Amino acid sequence: MAATGAASATAKAPLDPALAAAAPGGVLVVDFGAQYSQLIARRIRECRVFSAVVPHDTPPEELHALEPAGLVLSGGPASVYEPGAPALDARLLELGIPVLGICYGMQSMAQALGGEVAHTGRGEFGKTAMEVRSRDGLFHDLPAESCWMSHRDAVVKAPEGFRVTAETAGSPVAAMEHRARRLYGVQFHPEVIHTPFGTDLLKGFLFDACDCAPTWTAAQVIEEQVARIRAQVGEGRAVCALSGGVDSAVAALLVHKAIGDRLTCVFVDHGLMRMNEGEQVETAFGGHFGVPLVHVRAQERMLGALAGVTDPEQKRKIIGREFIRIFEEESQKLQDGPGGAPRFLVQGTLYSDVIESGSRDASKIKSHHNVGGLPEDMAMELVEPLRQLFKDEVRVVGQELGLPDGMVWRQPFPGPGLAIRIIGDVTEERLDILRRADFVLQEEIRRAGLYRDLWQSFAVLPAIKSVGVQGDERTYAYPIVIRAVTSDDAMTADWARLPHDLLETISNRIINEVNGVNRVVLDLTSKPPGTIEWE
Ligand code: XMP
Protein backbone atom coordinates (compact mmCIF):
# COMPACT_ATOMS: atom_id res chain seq x y z
CA MET A 1 0.00 0.00 0.00
CA ALA A 2 1.52 3.27 -1.02
CA ALA A 3 1.66 5.70 1.89
CA THR A 4 1.47 9.42 1.32
CA GLY A 5 4.28 10.51 3.60
CA ALA A 6 7.67 9.19 4.51
CA ALA A 7 8.00 5.87 6.28
CA SER A 8 6.36 5.77 9.68
CA ALA A 9 9.05 3.55 11.08
CA THR A 10 12.15 5.70 11.20
CA ALA A 11 13.27 5.83 14.79
CA LYS A 12 15.93 3.42 15.93
CA ALA A 13 14.89 2.13 19.29
CA PRO A 14 15.27 -1.20 21.01
CA LEU A 15 12.74 -3.81 19.92
CA ASP A 16 9.88 -4.58 22.24
CA PRO A 17 11.35 -7.01 24.80
CA ALA A 18 8.13 -9.03 24.67
CA LEU A 19 9.08 -10.08 21.12
CA ALA A 20 11.93 -12.31 22.22
CA ALA A 21 9.51 -14.82 23.73
CA ALA A 22 6.80 -14.61 21.08
CA ALA A 23 8.69 -14.30 17.79
CA PRO A 24 10.47 -17.67 17.44
CA GLY A 25 8.57 -19.68 14.86
CA GLY A 26 6.39 -16.69 13.97
CA VAL A 27 6.50 -14.33 11.02
CA LEU A 28 7.65 -10.73 11.39
CA VAL A 29 6.32 -7.93 9.21
CA VAL A 30 9.11 -5.53 8.32
CA ASP A 31 7.36 -2.16 8.15
CA PHE A 32 8.30 0.21 5.35
CA GLY A 33 5.61 2.68 6.36
CA ALA A 34 2.52 1.02 4.95
CA GLN A 35 -0.96 1.84 6.16
CA TYR A 36 -1.59 -1.87 6.18
CA SER A 37 1.40 -3.38 8.01
CA GLN A 38 -0.77 -4.08 11.04
CA LEU A 39 -3.37 -5.69 8.85
CA ILE A 40 -0.78 -8.09 7.45
CA ALA A 41 0.16 -9.07 11.00
CA ARG A 42 -3.51 -9.59 11.84
CA ARG A 43 -4.08 -11.80 8.82
CA ILE A 44 -1.10 -13.94 9.76
CA ARG A 45 -2.35 -14.26 13.33
CA GLU A 46 -5.75 -15.29 11.99
CA CYS A 47 -3.88 -18.23 10.47
CA ARG A 48 -2.71 -19.04 14.03
CA VAL A 49 0.86 -18.01 13.46
CA PHE A 50 2.33 -15.32 15.70
CA SER A 51 3.12 -12.10 13.88
CA ALA A 52 4.32 -8.63 14.85
CA VAL A 53 5.40 -5.51 13.04
CA VAL A 54 9.05 -4.42 13.28
CA PRO A 55 10.64 -1.25 11.88
CA HIS A 56 12.46 -1.57 8.56
CA ASP A 57 15.71 -0.34 10.07
CA THR A 58 15.95 -3.21 12.55
CA PRO A 59 19.41 -4.67 12.00
CA PRO A 60 19.24 -8.08 10.24
CA GLU A 61 21.23 -9.75 13.02
CA GLU A 62 18.59 -8.62 15.56
CA LEU A 63 15.84 -10.06 13.41
CA HIS A 64 17.78 -13.27 13.00
CA ALA A 65 18.22 -13.55 16.75
CA LEU A 66 14.43 -13.54 17.15
CA GLU A 67 14.35 -16.79 15.14
CA PRO A 68 11.29 -15.99 13.03
CA ALA A 69 10.15 -18.65 10.57
CA GLY A 70 9.56 -16.00 7.93
CA LEU A 71 9.61 -12.30 7.10
CA VAL A 72 7.12 -10.18 5.18
CA LEU A 73 8.29 -6.90 3.68
CA SER A 74 5.35 -4.52 3.81
CA GLY A 75 4.17 -1.93 1.34
CA GLY A 76 5.51 1.59 1.74
CA PRO A 77 5.89 4.95 0.06
CA ALA A 78 5.00 5.60 -3.56
CA SER A 79 8.38 4.81 -5.05
CA VAL A 80 11.67 3.12 -4.20
CA TYR A 81 13.28 6.08 -5.98
CA GLU A 82 11.64 8.71 -3.77
CA PRO A 83 14.19 10.77 -1.82
CA GLY A 84 14.39 9.37 1.68
CA ALA A 85 12.47 6.21 0.73
CA PRO A 86 13.21 3.55 3.34
CA ALA A 87 15.86 1.20 2.03
CA LEU A 88 15.84 -2.56 2.34
CA ASP A 89 18.98 -3.90 3.96
CA ALA A 90 19.87 -6.58 1.40
CA ARG A 91 21.38 -8.74 4.16
CA LEU A 92 17.80 -9.52 5.19
CA LEU A 93 17.53 -11.60 2.07
CA GLU A 94 20.67 -13.58 2.96
CA LEU A 95 19.54 -14.84 6.36
CA GLY A 96 18.17 -18.09 4.94
CA ILE A 97 14.72 -17.09 6.26
CA PRO A 98 11.84 -17.15 3.72
CA VAL A 99 10.77 -13.65 2.69
CA LEU A 100 7.56 -12.42 1.07
CA GLY A 101 7.70 -8.88 -0.34
CA ILE A 102 4.36 -7.11 -0.79
CA CYS A 103 4.00 -4.12 -3.17
CA TYR A 104 6.83 -1.75 -2.16
CA GLY A 105 8.35 -4.71 -0.30
CA MET A 106 8.57 -6.68 -3.53
CA GLN A 107 9.95 -3.69 -5.40
CA SER A 108 12.67 -3.20 -2.78
CA MET A 109 13.49 -6.87 -3.01
CA ALA A 110 13.72 -6.70 -6.79
CA GLN A 111 15.89 -3.61 -6.65
CA ALA A 112 18.23 -5.08 -4.02
CA LEU A 113 18.78 -8.22 -6.07
CA GLY A 114 19.49 -6.57 -9.41
CA GLY A 115 16.01 -6.53 -10.93
CA GLU A 116 14.45 -3.43 -12.42
CA VAL A 117 11.76 -1.17 -11.02
CA ALA A 118 10.35 1.57 -13.22
CA HIS A 119 7.72 4.25 -13.46
CA THR A 120 5.58 2.57 -16.06
CA GLY A 121 3.35 5.59 -16.35
CA ARG A 122 0.45 3.31 -15.69
CA GLY A 123 -0.59 2.82 -12.13
CA GLU A 124 -3.01 0.17 -11.00
CA PHE A 125 -5.53 0.88 -8.27
CA GLY A 126 -8.30 -1.36 -7.03
CA LYS A 127 -9.53 -4.58 -8.54
CA THR A 128 -7.19 -5.72 -11.30
CA ALA A 129 -7.39 -8.71 -13.64
CA MET A 130 -4.42 -11.04 -13.30
CA GLU A 131 -2.98 -13.96 -15.18
CA VAL A 132 -1.06 -16.67 -13.36
CA ARG A 133 2.07 -17.83 -15.24
CA SER A 134 3.31 -20.52 -12.91
CA ARG A 135 1.48 -22.68 -10.42
CA ASP A 136 4.48 -24.52 -8.99
CA GLY A 137 4.75 -22.28 -5.95
CA LEU A 138 2.46 -19.99 -3.99
CA PHE A 139 -0.31 -19.93 -6.57
CA HIS A 140 -0.69 -23.76 -6.88
CA ASP A 141 -4.45 -24.25 -7.36
CA LEU A 142 -5.67 -20.83 -6.21
CA PRO A 143 -8.47 -19.20 -8.23
CA ALA A 144 -6.29 -16.13 -8.78
CA GLU A 145 -8.05 -14.25 -11.52
CA SER A 146 -8.18 -10.82 -9.97
CA CYS A 147 -6.33 -9.06 -7.20
CA TRP A 148 -6.33 -5.71 -5.42
CA MET A 149 -3.57 -3.30 -6.44
CA SER A 150 -2.38 0.12 -5.29
CA HIS A 151 0.81 1.22 -7.02
CA ARG A 152 2.40 3.42 -9.67
CA ASP A 153 5.86 1.88 -10.00
CA ALA A 154 6.25 -1.70 -11.07
CA VAL A 155 8.92 -4.36 -11.26
CA VAL A 156 9.62 -4.57 -14.99
CA LYS A 157 12.41 -7.14 -14.77
CA ALA A 158 12.67 -9.80 -12.11
CA PRO A 159 16.12 -10.41 -10.58
CA GLU A 160 18.17 -13.28 -11.90
CA GLY A 161 17.02 -16.70 -10.78
CA PHE A 162 13.45 -15.52 -10.14
CA ARG A 163 10.49 -16.90 -12.00
CA VAL A 164 7.66 -14.55 -12.93
CA THR A 165 4.56 -16.26 -11.59
CA ALA A 166 1.82 -13.76 -12.47
CA GLU A 167 1.27 -10.64 -14.55
CA THR A 168 -1.32 -7.94 -15.07
CA ALA A 169 -1.75 -5.25 -17.72
CA GLY A 170 0.28 -2.74 -15.70
CA SER A 171 2.67 -5.15 -13.97
CA PRO A 172 4.77 -7.41 -16.16
CA VAL A 173 5.98 -8.91 -12.88
CA ALA A 174 2.85 -9.00 -10.71
CA ALA A 175 4.39 -11.86 -8.72
CA MET A 176 7.78 -13.55 -8.64
CA GLU A 177 9.43 -16.44 -6.82
CA HIS A 178 12.87 -17.86 -6.22
CA ARG A 179 11.85 -21.14 -4.73
CA ALA A 180 15.36 -22.41 -3.91
CA ARG A 181 16.08 -19.27 -1.88
CA ARG A 182 12.49 -19.13 -0.63
CA LEU A 183 12.12 -15.49 -1.71
CA TYR A 184 8.70 -14.38 -2.95
CA GLY A 185 7.20 -11.13 -4.13
CA VAL A 186 3.70 -9.97 -5.00
CA GLN A 187 2.80 -6.56 -6.35
CA PHE A 188 -0.79 -6.88 -5.14
CA HIS A 189 -2.12 -6.91 -1.59
CA PRO A 190 -2.98 -10.38 -0.31
CA GLU A 191 -3.89 -8.93 3.10
CA VAL A 192 -7.00 -7.03 1.94
CA ILE A 193 -10.30 -8.82 1.51
CA HIS A 194 -10.62 -7.52 -2.05
CA THR A 195 -7.94 -10.02 -3.08
CA PRO A 196 -10.23 -13.03 -2.83
CA PHE A 197 -7.49 -15.67 -2.70
CA GLY A 198 -5.22 -13.46 -0.53
CA THR A 199 -5.51 -15.42 2.72
CA ASP A 200 -4.88 -18.71 0.92
CA LEU A 201 -1.79 -17.27 -0.69
CA LEU A 202 -0.54 -16.12 2.71
CA LYS A 203 -1.25 -19.59 4.07
CA GLY A 204 0.89 -21.06 1.29
CA PHE A 205 3.73 -18.78 2.35
CA LEU A 206 3.28 -19.56 6.05
CA PHE A 207 2.74 -23.30 5.93
CA ASP A 208 4.65 -24.37 2.81
CA ALA A 209 7.46 -21.84 2.37
CA CYS A 210 8.07 -21.07 6.06
CA ASP A 211 6.94 -24.42 7.44
CA CYS A 212 5.08 -22.69 10.27
CA ALA A 213 2.78 -24.65 12.54
CA PRO A 214 -0.70 -23.21 13.26
CA THR A 215 -0.11 -23.30 17.01
CA TRP A 216 -0.59 -19.70 18.06
CA THR A 217 -3.73 -20.03 20.15
CA ALA A 218 -5.14 -18.37 23.23
CA ALA A 219 -3.95 -21.32 25.34
CA GLN A 220 -0.43 -20.86 24.02
CA VAL A 221 -0.49 -17.12 24.62
CA ILE A 222 -1.54 -17.75 28.21
CA GLU A 223 1.20 -20.30 28.75
CA GLU A 224 3.86 -18.00 27.26
CA GLN A 225 2.74 -14.95 29.18
CA VAL A 226 2.49 -16.80 32.48
CA ALA A 227 6.09 -18.00 32.06
CA ARG A 228 7.20 -14.50 31.11
CA ILE A 229 5.46 -12.86 34.06
CA ARG A 230 7.00 -15.40 36.46
CA ALA A 231 10.44 -14.67 35.06
CA GLN A 232 9.91 -10.92 35.37
CA VAL A 233 8.30 -10.74 38.79
CA GLY A 234 10.19 -13.55 40.50
CA GLU A 235 9.18 -13.59 44.14
CA GLY A 236 8.03 -9.95 43.99
CA ARG A 237 4.59 -8.47 44.51
CA ALA A 238 2.42 -6.67 42.00
CA VAL A 239 -0.52 -4.33 42.01
CA CYS A 240 -3.11 -3.74 39.29
CA ALA A 241 -5.74 -1.04 38.89
CA LEU A 242 -8.94 -2.64 37.64
CA SER A 243 -11.27 -0.41 35.65
CA GLY A 244 -14.05 -2.87 34.86
CA GLY A 245 -12.86 -3.02 31.25
CA VAL A 246 -11.65 -6.12 29.47
CA ASP A 247 -7.99 -5.08 29.13
CA SER A 248 -7.16 -4.56 32.78
CA ALA A 249 -9.27 -7.60 33.70
CA VAL A 250 -7.41 -9.96 31.35
CA ALA A 251 -4.03 -8.50 32.32
CA ALA A 252 -4.88 -9.03 35.99
CA LEU A 253 -6.04 -12.61 35.45
CA LEU A 254 -2.86 -13.51 33.58
CA VAL A 255 -0.71 -12.08 36.34
CA HIS A 256 -2.81 -13.81 38.98
CA LYS A 257 -2.36 -17.11 37.19
CA ALA A 258 1.39 -16.52 37.21
CA ILE A 259 2.03 -15.25 40.74
CA GLY A 260 -1.19 -16.00 42.61
CA ASP A 261 -1.84 -13.99 45.74
CA ARG A 262 1.24 -11.88 45.28
CA LEU A 263 -0.99 -9.81 43.00
CA THR A 264 -3.39 -7.34 44.60
CA CYS A 265 -6.01 -5.66 42.45
CA VAL A 266 -7.26 -2.22 43.34
CA PHE A 267 -10.68 -1.40 41.98
CA VAL A 268 -11.34 2.28 42.38
CA ASP A 269 -15.10 2.46 42.00
CA HIS A 270 -15.55 6.15 41.26
CA GLY A 271 -19.31 5.80 41.45
CA LEU A 272 -19.69 6.74 37.80
CA MET A 273 -20.06 3.19 36.53
CA ARG A 274 -23.17 1.75 35.00
CA MET A 275 -25.75 -0.37 36.80
CA ASN A 276 -24.24 -3.41 38.55
CA GLU A 277 -20.78 -2.91 37.06
CA GLY A 278 -19.03 -2.51 40.36
CA GLU A 279 -20.66 -5.67 41.72
CA GLN A 280 -19.68 -7.54 38.58
CA VAL A 281 -15.99 -6.79 39.18
CA GLU A 282 -16.34 -7.68 42.86
CA THR A 283 -18.10 -10.97 42.09
CA ALA A 284 -15.69 -12.01 39.36
CA PHE A 285 -12.39 -11.01 40.94
CA GLY A 286 -12.93 -11.09 44.68
CA GLY A 287 -15.39 -13.99 44.41
CA HIS A 288 -14.98 -16.36 41.50
CA PHE A 289 -11.26 -15.93 40.78
CA GLY A 290 -10.26 -15.29 44.37
CA VAL A 291 -7.91 -12.47 43.48
CA PRO A 292 -6.95 -10.30 46.48
CA LEU A 293 -9.09 -7.26 45.77
CA VAL A 294 -9.27 -3.84 47.34
CA HIS A 295 -12.63 -2.39 46.38
CA VAL A 296 -12.59 1.33 47.05
CA ARG A 297 -16.05 2.85 47.05
CA ALA A 298 -15.31 6.43 46.19
CA GLN A 299 -18.60 7.78 44.87
CA GLU A 300 -19.11 10.22 47.69
CA ARG A 301 -15.60 11.59 47.40
CA MET A 302 -15.86 11.82 43.61
CA LEU A 303 -19.24 13.56 43.65
CA GLY A 304 -17.92 15.95 46.27
CA ALA A 305 -15.02 16.86 44.00
CA LEU A 306 -17.38 17.23 41.02
CA ALA A 307 -19.98 19.34 42.81
CA GLY A 308 -21.00 22.31 40.69
CA VAL A 309 -18.61 21.42 37.86
CA THR A 310 -20.21 21.54 34.41
CA ASP A 311 -17.25 21.93 32.03
CA PRO A 312 -16.46 18.57 30.37
CA GLU A 313 -12.68 18.93 30.46
CA GLN A 314 -12.81 20.07 34.08
CA LYS A 315 -14.81 16.95 34.89
CA ARG A 316 -12.21 14.75 33.19
CA LYS A 317 -9.34 16.46 35.01
CA ILE A 318 -10.98 16.16 38.40
CA ILE A 319 -11.91 12.52 37.93
CA GLY A 320 -8.40 11.67 36.68
CA ARG A 321 -6.80 13.51 39.58
CA GLU A 322 -9.00 11.93 42.24
CA PHE A 323 -8.56 8.48 40.71
CA ILE A 324 -4.79 8.79 40.90
CA ARG A 325 -4.90 10.08 44.47
CA ILE A 326 -7.10 7.22 45.59
CA PHE A 327 -4.96 4.67 43.82
CA GLU A 328 -1.83 6.14 45.39
CA GLU A 329 -3.36 6.08 48.83
CA GLU A 330 -4.33 2.44 48.45
CA SER A 331 -0.93 1.49 47.03
CA GLN A 332 0.68 3.23 49.97
CA LYS A 333 -1.31 1.02 52.33
CA LEU A 334 -0.05 -2.01 50.45
CA GLN A 335 3.55 -0.83 50.86
CA ASP A 336 3.18 -1.34 54.56
CA GLY A 337 1.22 -4.58 54.24
CA PRO A 338 2.40 -8.19 54.67
CA GLY A 339 4.91 -9.42 52.09
CA GLY A 340 6.47 -6.02 51.54
CA ALA A 341 5.92 -3.28 49.01
CA PRO A 342 4.73 -4.21 45.51
CA ARG A 343 7.42 -3.33 43.01
CA PHE A 344 5.39 -4.19 39.91
CA LEU A 345 2.47 -2.39 38.32
CA VAL A 346 0.26 -4.38 35.95
CA GLN A 347 -1.17 -2.54 32.96
CA GLY A 348 -3.43 -3.66 30.15
CA THR A 349 -1.46 -1.92 27.40
CA LEU A 350 -2.46 -3.36 24.00
CA TYR A 351 -0.48 -3.83 20.83
CA SER A 352 -2.45 -1.02 19.22
CA ASP A 353 -1.41 1.31 22.08
CA VAL A 354 2.22 0.33 21.53
CA ILE A 355 1.97 1.08 17.83
CA GLU A 356 -0.06 4.27 18.32
CA SER A 357 2.26 5.80 20.86
CA GLY A 358 5.13 5.01 18.49
CA SER A 359 7.19 3.91 21.42
CA ARG A 360 8.92 0.66 22.01
CA ASP A 361 10.14 1.76 25.36
CA ALA A 362 8.70 -0.77 27.76
CA SER A 363 9.17 1.45 30.77
CA LYS A 364 6.87 4.22 29.60
CA ILE A 365 3.54 4.37 31.37
CA LYS A 366 0.59 4.35 29.00
CA SER A 367 -0.28 8.01 28.66
CA HIS A 368 -3.87 7.45 27.57
CA HIS A 369 -4.75 5.12 30.40
CA ASN A 370 -8.45 4.58 30.71
CA VAL A 371 -8.87 7.04 33.49
CA GLY A 372 -6.21 9.61 32.88
CA GLY A 373 -2.77 8.20 33.45
CA LEU A 374 -1.28 6.62 36.51
CA PRO A 375 1.30 8.55 38.49
CA GLU A 376 4.68 8.60 36.80
CA ASP A 377 6.64 8.85 40.00
CA MET A 378 5.44 5.56 41.42
CA ALA A 379 8.81 4.01 40.62
CA MET A 380 7.31 0.65 39.79
CA GLU A 381 8.28 -1.69 37.03
CA LEU A 382 5.51 -2.28 34.50
CA VAL A 383 4.12 -5.72 33.75
CA GLU A 384 2.26 -5.59 30.44
CA PRO A 385 1.15 -9.06 29.36
CA LEU A 386 -1.06 -7.77 26.52
CA ARG A 387 1.58 -5.74 24.70
CA GLN A 388 1.58 -8.14 21.78
CA LEU A 389 -2.19 -8.57 21.47
CA PHE A 390 -4.94 -6.92 19.48
CA LYS A 391 -8.23 -6.19 21.26
CA ASP A 392 -10.10 -9.13 19.72
CA GLU A 393 -7.27 -11.44 20.75
CA VAL A 394 -7.46 -10.11 24.31
CA ARG A 395 -11.14 -11.06 24.30
CA VAL A 396 -10.34 -14.60 23.18
CA VAL A 397 -7.70 -14.90 25.91
CA GLY A 398 -10.25 -13.54 28.41
CA GLN A 399 -12.76 -16.18 27.35
CA GLU A 400 -10.15 -18.90 27.69
CA LEU A 401 -9.36 -17.67 31.20
CA GLY A 402 -13.05 -17.87 32.12
CA LEU A 403 -13.80 -14.15 32.37
CA PRO A 404 -17.60 -13.63 32.32
CA ASP A 405 -19.06 -12.78 28.90
CA GLY A 406 -20.35 -9.46 30.17
CA MET A 407 -16.78 -8.32 30.80
CA VAL A 408 -15.21 -10.00 27.78
CA TRP A 409 -17.60 -8.34 25.35
CA ARG A 410 -18.16 -5.05 27.13
CA GLN A 411 -18.41 -2.15 24.71
CA PRO A 412 -15.79 0.57 25.24
CA PHE A 413 -16.65 2.72 28.24
CA PRO A 414 -14.86 6.01 28.96
CA GLY A 415 -12.70 6.30 32.06
CA PRO A 416 -14.69 9.28 33.42
CA GLY A 417 -17.78 7.09 33.11
CA LEU A 418 -21.28 8.46 33.27
CA ALA A 419 -19.99 11.90 34.34
CA ILE A 420 -19.38 12.78 30.68
CA ARG A 421 -22.81 11.48 29.68
CA ILE A 422 -24.54 13.79 32.14
CA ILE A 423 -24.55 17.26 30.68
CA GLY A 424 -24.09 19.81 33.41
CA ASP A 425 -24.11 18.96 37.10
CA VAL A 426 -23.28 15.41 38.15
CA THR A 427 -25.45 14.65 41.17
CA GLU A 428 -26.49 11.40 42.77
CA GLU A 429 -30.07 11.95 41.61
CA ARG A 430 -29.08 12.58 37.99
CA LEU A 431 -26.65 9.63 38.05
CA ASP A 432 -29.49 7.44 39.23
CA ILE A 433 -31.77 8.59 36.38
CA LEU A 434 -29.10 8.00 33.75
CA ARG A 435 -28.08 4.65 35.19
CA ARG A 436 -31.65 3.33 35.10
CA ALA A 437 -32.29 4.60 31.59
CA ASP A 438 -29.00 3.19 30.38
CA PHE A 439 -29.79 -0.16 31.96
CA VAL A 440 -33.06 -0.41 30.03
CA LEU A 441 -31.32 0.55 26.82
CA GLN A 442 -28.54 -2.01 27.30
CA GLU A 443 -31.01 -4.72 28.16
CA GLU A 444 -33.08 -4.14 25.04
CA ILE A 445 -30.05 -3.83 22.76
CA ARG A 446 -28.76 -7.15 24.06
CA ARG A 447 -32.17 -8.76 23.78
CA ALA A 448 -32.30 -7.67 20.13
CA GLY A 449 -28.91 -9.37 19.60
CA LEU A 450 -27.25 -6.11 18.57
CA TYR A 451 -24.86 -5.51 21.46
CA ARG A 452 -21.76 -6.93 19.80
CA ASP A 453 -22.54 -5.35 16.41
CA LEU A 454 -22.55 -1.86 17.85
CA TRP A 455 -19.35 -0.09 18.77
CA GLN A 456 -21.16 1.66 21.58
CA SER A 457 -24.77 2.12 22.66
CA PHE A 458 -25.71 4.22 25.65
CA ALA A 459 -27.99 6.84 27.14
CA VAL A 460 -27.18 10.52 27.65
CA LEU A 461 -28.84 12.88 30.10
CA PRO A 462 -29.05 16.49 28.88
CA ALA A 463 -29.34 19.51 31.16
CA ILE A 464 -32.80 20.56 30.02
CA LYS A 465 -36.34 19.66 30.93
CA SER A 466 -39.43 19.68 28.79
CA VAL A 467 -43.16 19.50 29.25
CA GLY A 468 -45.08 16.27 28.93
CA VAL A 469 -48.30 14.67 30.04
CA GLN A 470 -48.57 11.37 31.87
CA GLY A 471 -52.00 10.18 33.02
CA ASP A 472 -53.85 13.35 33.72
CA GLU A 473 -50.82 15.15 34.91
CA ARG A 474 -48.59 17.64 33.29
CA THR A 475 -44.91 16.72 33.76
CA TYR A 476 -41.77 18.75 33.53
CA ALA A 477 -38.85 16.36 33.37
CA TYR A 478 -35.61 15.36 31.63
CA PRO A 479 -35.31 13.83 28.17
CA ILE A 480 -33.00 10.86 27.57
CA VAL A 481 -30.92 10.72 24.41
CA ILE A 482 -30.26 7.36 22.78
CA ARG A 483 -26.77 7.25 21.30
CA ALA A 484 -25.78 4.15 19.31
CA VAL A 485 -22.93 4.04 16.81
CA THR A 486 -21.11 1.65 14.55
CA SER A 487 -17.37 2.09 14.15
CA ASP A 488 -14.12 0.20 13.64
CA ASP A 489 -11.80 2.29 15.74
CA ALA A 490 -13.77 5.24 17.24
CA MET A 491 -11.89 7.64 14.94
CA THR A 492 -14.98 7.85 12.77
CA ALA A 493 -18.43 6.50 13.51
CA ASP A 494 -21.89 6.33 12.02
CA TRP A 495 -25.17 6.46 13.91
CA ALA A 496 -26.68 3.02 14.05
CA ARG A 497 -29.90 2.36 12.15
CA LEU A 498 -31.72 0.69 15.04
CA PRO A 499 -35.02 -0.99 14.14
CA HIS A 500 -38.07 1.20 14.86
CA ASP A 501 -39.71 -1.49 16.95
CA LEU A 502 -36.67 -1.66 19.16
CA LEU A 503 -36.60 2.13 19.53
CA GLU A 504 -40.25 2.06 20.46
CA THR A 505 -39.67 -0.55 23.16
CA ILE A 506 -36.70 1.35 24.58
CA SER A 507 -38.60 4.62 24.61
CA ASN A 508 -41.71 3.15 26.27
CA ARG A 509 -39.74 1.30 28.89
CA ILE A 510 -37.54 4.25 29.81
CA ILE A 511 -40.52 6.56 30.24
CA ASN A 512 -42.50 3.99 32.19
CA GLU A 513 -39.68 2.72 34.36
CA VAL A 514 -37.46 5.72 35.00
CA ASN A 515 -38.84 8.43 37.21
CA GLY A 516 -37.78 11.89 36.15
CA VAL A 517 -37.84 11.19 32.41
CA ASN A 518 -40.74 12.13 30.13
CA ARG A 519 -39.21 12.10 26.65
CA VAL A 520 -36.76 9.94 24.65
CA VAL A 521 -34.90 11.26 21.62
CA LEU A 522 -32.45 9.71 19.16
CA ASP A 523 -29.05 11.12 18.19
CA LEU A 524 -28.63 10.97 14.39
CA THR A 525 -25.13 12.40 14.18
CA SER A 526 -22.13 10.64 12.70
CA LYS A 527 -18.52 11.35 13.76
CA PRO A 528 -17.41 13.73 12.43
CA PRO A 529 -19.04 16.19 12.90
CA GLY A 530 -20.26 14.85 16.25
CA THR A 531 -18.13 12.95 18.73
CA ILE A 532 -19.35 9.64 20.08
CA GLU A 533 -19.69 10.94 23.61
CA TRP A 534 -21.68 14.11 24.30
CA GLU A 535 -18.92 15.67 26.36
P1 XMP B 1 -15.34 10.61 21.20
O2 XMP B 1 -16.44 11.05 22.09
O3 XMP B 1 -14.15 11.53 21.26
O4 XMP B 1 -14.86 9.21 21.78
O5 XMP B 1 -15.79 10.36 19.78
C6 XMP B 1 -14.05 8.30 21.12
C7 XMP B 1 -13.90 7.08 22.02
O8 XMP B 1 -13.18 7.43 23.20
C9 XMP B 1 -13.97 7.24 24.36
N10 XMP B 1 -13.71 8.38 25.24
C11 XMP B 1 -12.96 8.33 26.35
N12 XMP B 1 -12.30 7.30 26.92
N13 XMP B 1 -11.54 8.74 28.63
C14 XMP B 1 -11.61 7.52 28.07
O15 XMP B 1 -11.04 6.59 28.63
C16 XMP B 1 -12.18 9.82 28.13
O17 XMP B 1 -12.10 10.93 28.67
C18 XMP B 1 -12.92 9.59 26.91
N19 XMP B 1 -13.66 10.40 26.11
C20 XMP B 1 -14.13 9.63 25.10
C21 XMP B 1 -15.40 7.15 23.85
O22 XMP B 1 -16.23 6.39 24.72
C23 XMP B 1 -15.23 6.53 22.50
O24 XMP B 1 -15.11 5.12 22.58
Distance CA 229, CA 239 (A): 13
Ligand 1 site-directed mutation target among 533, 534, 535, most atoms within 8 Å of CB: 533
Instruction: Average the pLDDT over 357-383 and give the result.
Output: 52
pLDDT in tens, 105-118: 999 999 999 999 99
State the pTM of this model. 0.80
Q: Span 324-332, mean pLDDT?
A: 90
Q: Average pLDDT, stretch 54-67? A: 95
Interval 302-319 mean pLDDT: 97
Mean pLDDT of 54-71: 96
pLDDT tens-digit series, residues 259-288: 999 999 999 999 999 999 999 999 999 999
Pocket (CB within 6 angstroms of ligand 1): 316, 370, 412, 414-416, 456, 490, 527, 531-533
Going by C-alpha positions, the residue among 281, 272, 244, 269 that lies closest to residue 435 is: 272
Distance from residue 384's CA to the centre of ligand 1 (Å):
22
Ligand 1: nearest atom to the Cα of 370: 15
- Residue 335 has a CB neighbour count (10 Å cut-off) of 11
pLDDT of res. 11: 45
Please list the active-site residues.
103, 189, 191
pLDDT for 12 equals 59
Rounded average pLDDT over 211-230? 93
Task: Say how many Å lie between the CA of residue 184 and the centre of ligand 1.
Answer: 42
Ligand 1, atom 11, residue with closest C-alpha: 414
Mean pLDDT of 382-393: 92
Amino acid at 46: E
For all residues of the chain together, what is the average pLDDT? Answer: 91
Query: Are 105 and 30 spatial neighbours (Cβ–Cβ below 8 Å)?
Result: yes
Does the pLDDT of residue 159 top 50, yes or no?
yes
Partnered with residue 148 across adjacent β-strands are 127
Of the candidate ranges 84-88, 349-353, 421-425, the one whose mean pLDDT is the lowest: 349-353
Q: What is the mean pLDDT of residues 326-354?
A: 85
Residue 473 has phi, psi (to 5 degrees) of -110, 140
Distance CA 281, CA 336 (A): 25
pLDDT at 15 over 70: yes
Beta carbons within 8 Å of 230's beta carbon, 6+ residues apart? 258, 259
pLDDT of residue 1 exceeding 70, the answer is: no
Whose Cα sits closest to atom 14 in ligand 1?
414
**pLDDT tens digits for range 473-506:** 999 999 999 999 999 888 899 999 999 999 999 9
Half-sphere exposure for 99 (CA within 13 Å, toward CB): 27
pLDDT, residue 352, reads 79
Average of per-residue pLDDT across 171-180:
97
Cα of 314 vs centre of ligand 1, distance in Å, is: 15
